[in-house]
């Protein structure tokens, strides 16, 4: 690891948190990011690269990285693992067809060494859509109870209404903070 | 990779000036402090020098066309950023090795970690911007804008109120928000 990387890591001690938001395409990652940041969510198109937002929240500086989820883009995800404190896995709760694909992608991420120790928040998004699966259903279908390698939590949410977004982010920060910032 | 120009062939050419004998006294523990401060001083010199600036500039020149004024980032930015950090770091290390006999980057980074509570100086802010992605992207966008003559149009944010309409008798220029 080089000098600049080390400096950057040390800088992060001042309550900087890096969150990586991943999930299949059309799960609503960018919409969540923009909604949380108070931006307009009417004109969001599929992400082909990645977005970054730096948000001030509860005295923390959140660096949120949102990377495109199309199949052809998923090989790029690994370029963004480094220094991740929290992984936000976004699920389209109305997309029953791809829930297996969703499960596989999540579980292979959890094996990543560079994500070891990171907090996992699963957002069961699109709860505002009729026929969407409940977070309880998704918990079972994604086999979350078998995750022992990460602190995790699942929350139902809607990026459109904003329901539970804040709660999810707050839990993630609390979990990260209890691991990292109590050491000082 | 996606890059048509490999950035890997950038080198930091060094002239080797400023080589000095650093350790004239070894009698107390201040030697470590002194050496640390000397290295920091050298880093300050190095990043101000033409060589370093030229390196940075040639990097900008080579890749600025990849960068677009859109909120979303392309994956290639990350490749370019990684290469940029590597190149600048290599330059710093090469230059320090020229100036400090037996310089070890590993040793130096260890010292930095030990002294992290002291790291508030401007030099660290500058070093940090080298590795901060958002600062990196902005640097490229600014460079491109300047290159293509799209410098910021200040007139849109400037309101000039005529003297006679001024509520007080001093001439003022208001910088409006929009």
Tens of pLDDT, residue by residue over A5-35, are 777 666 655 688 999 999 999 999 999 999 9
Q: What is the pLDDT of residue A184?
A: 44
Instruction: Please write the tens of the pLDDT for every residue from A47-75.
Output: 999 999 999 999 899 999 999 999 999 99
Predicted TM-score (pTM) of this structure: 0.78
| pLDDT over 50 at B26, yes or no | no
Q: What distance in Å separates the CA atoms of residue A85 and residue A77, rounded to the nearest whole number?
A: 15
Q: What distance in Å separates the CA atoms of residue A8 and residue B130, rounded to the nearest whole number?
A: 10
pLDDT category, B19, cuts 50, 70, 90?
Answer: very low
Average pLDDT of the residues in B134-141: 91
pLDDT greater at residue B129 or residue A166:
A166
Residue among A3, A54, A63 with most chain B CBs within 10 A, to mutate? A3
Instruction: Please write the tens of the pLDDT for every residue from A78-106.
Output: 999 998 999 999 999 999 999 999 999 99
Q: Among A45-54, B67-76, B82-91, which is the least confidently predicted range?
A: B82-91
Identify which of B72, B74, B131 has the shortest CB distance to residue A7.
B131
Question: For a pLDDT cut of 90, what percent of chain A falls above it?
Answer: 86
Q: CB-based contact (8 Å) between B130 and chain A?
A: yes
Q: Which residues are CB-neighbours of A29 under 8 A, at least 6 positions away?
A: A21, A22, A23, A47, A66, A67, A69, A88, A90
CA A140 to chain centroid, in Å, comes to: 19
Q: What is the pLDDT of residue B115?
A: 76
Q: CB-based contact (8 Å) between B74 and chain A?
A: yes
Q: CB-based contact (8 Å) between B108 and chain A?
A: yes
pLDDT category, B36, cuts 50, 70, 90?
Answer: confident
Task: Please give the backbone phi and psi of residue A156, each rounded to the nearest 5 degrees, phi first.
Answer: -75, 145
Average pLDDT of the residues in A161-178: 96
Q: What distance in Å separates the CA atoms of residue B15 and residue B48, rounded to the nearest whole number?
A: 15
Q: What is the pLDDT of residue B37?
A: 84
Q: Among A1-5, B18-22, B91-95, which is the least confidently predicted range?
A: B18-22
pLDDT category, B103, cuts 50, 70, 90?
Answer: confident
pLDDT greater at residue B89 or residue A183:
B89
Q: What is the pLDDT of residue B156?
A: 58
Q: What is the pLDDT of residue B4?
A: 43
Q: Among A144-153, B28-37, B40-49, B70-79, which is the least confidently predicted range?
A: B28-37
Residue among B116, B120, B129 with most chain A CBs within 10 A, to mutate? B116
Average pLDDT of the residues in B26-48: 78
Domains of chain B: residue spans and CATH: 36-149 (1.20.1520.10)
Are A13 and B133 an interchain contact pair (Cβ–Cβ within 8 Å)? Answer: no
> String of b and e for A82-118 (b: at least 16 CB within 10 Å)?
eebbbbbbbbbbbbeeebeebbebbeebbeeeebeeb
Q: Which residues are CB-neighbours of B150 under 8 A, at least 6 positions away?
A: none
Average pLDDT of the residues in B158-169: 54
Q: What is the pLDDT of residue B10?
A: 52
Q: What distance in Å separates the CA atoms of residue A107 and residue A145, rounded to the nearest whole number?
A: 12
* Residues of chain B contacting A48 with CB distance shorter than 8 Å: 72, 74
* Residues of chain B contacting A11 with CB distance shorter than 8 Å: 124, 128
User: Is residue A47 annotated as involved in ligand binding?
Assistant: yes
Identify which of A51, A54, A73 has the shortest CB distance to residue B71.
A51
With beta carbons less than 8 A apart as the criterion, state whether A126 and A94 touch: yes
Q: Which residues of A are catalytic?
A: 70
Q: Which residues are CB-neighbours of B12 under 8 A, at least 6 positions away?
A: B51, B52, B55, B87, B90, B91, B94, B95
Q: Which residues are CB-neighbours of A136 under 8 A, at least 6 positions away?
A: none
CA distance B74 to chain A (A): 5
Identify which of A11, A49, A80 has the shortest CB distance to residue B72.
A49
Question: For a pLDDT cut of 70, what percent of chain A falls above it?
Answer: 93
Q: What is the pLDDT of residue A51?
A: 98
* Residues of chain A contacting B119 with CB distance shorter than 8 Å: 7, 10
Q: What is the pLDDT of residue A46?
A: 98
Query: Which residue is associated with the tokens 């599929």?
Result: A46
């Amino acid at each position: 690891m080089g000098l600049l990387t080390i400096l950057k890591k040390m800088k992060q001690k001042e309550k900087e948190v890096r969150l990586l938001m991943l999930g299949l395409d059309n799960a609503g990652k960018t919409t969540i990011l923009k909604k949380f940041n108070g931006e307009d969510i009417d004109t969001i198109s599929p992400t082909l690269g990645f977005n970054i937002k730096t948000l001030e929240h509860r005295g923390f500086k959140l660096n949120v990285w949102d990377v495109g989820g199309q199949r052809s883009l998923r090989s790029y995800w690994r370029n963004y693992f480094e220094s991740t404190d929290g992984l936000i896995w976004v699920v389209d709760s109305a997309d029953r067809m791809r829930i297996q694909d969703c499960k596989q992608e999540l579980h292979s991420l959890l094996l990543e060494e560079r994500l070891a120790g990171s907090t996992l928040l699963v957002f069961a998004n699109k709860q505002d859509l009729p026929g969407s699966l409940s977070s309880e259903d998704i918990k079972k279908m994604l086999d979350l109870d078998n995750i022992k390698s990460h602190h995790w939590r699942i929350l139902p949410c809607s990026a459109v209404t904003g329901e539970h977004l804040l709660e999810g982010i707050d839990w993630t920060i609390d979990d990260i903070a209890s691991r990292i910032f109590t050491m000082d | 990779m996606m890059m048509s120009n490999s950035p890997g062939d950038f080198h930091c050419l060094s002239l080797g000036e400023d080589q000095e004998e650093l350790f004239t006294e070894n009698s107390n523990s201040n030697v470590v402090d002194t050496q640390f401060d000397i290295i920091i001083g050298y880093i300050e010199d190095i990043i101000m020098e033409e060589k370093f600036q030229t390196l940075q500039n040639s990097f900008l020149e080579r890749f600025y066309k990849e960068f677009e004024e859109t909120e979303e980032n392309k994956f290639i930015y990350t490749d370019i950023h990684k290469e940029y950090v590597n190149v600048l770091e290599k330059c710093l290390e090469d230059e320090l090795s020229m100036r400090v006999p037996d310089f070890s980057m590993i040793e130096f980074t260890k010292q930095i970690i030990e002294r992290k509570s002291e790291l508030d100086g401007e030099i660290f802010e500058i070093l940090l911007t080298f590795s901060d992605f958002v600062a990196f992207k902005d640097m490229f966008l600014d460079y491109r804008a300047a290159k293509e003559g799209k410098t910021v149009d200040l007139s849109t944010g400037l309101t000039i109120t005529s003297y006679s309409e001024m509520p007080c008798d001093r001439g003022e220029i208001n910088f409006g928000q929009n």
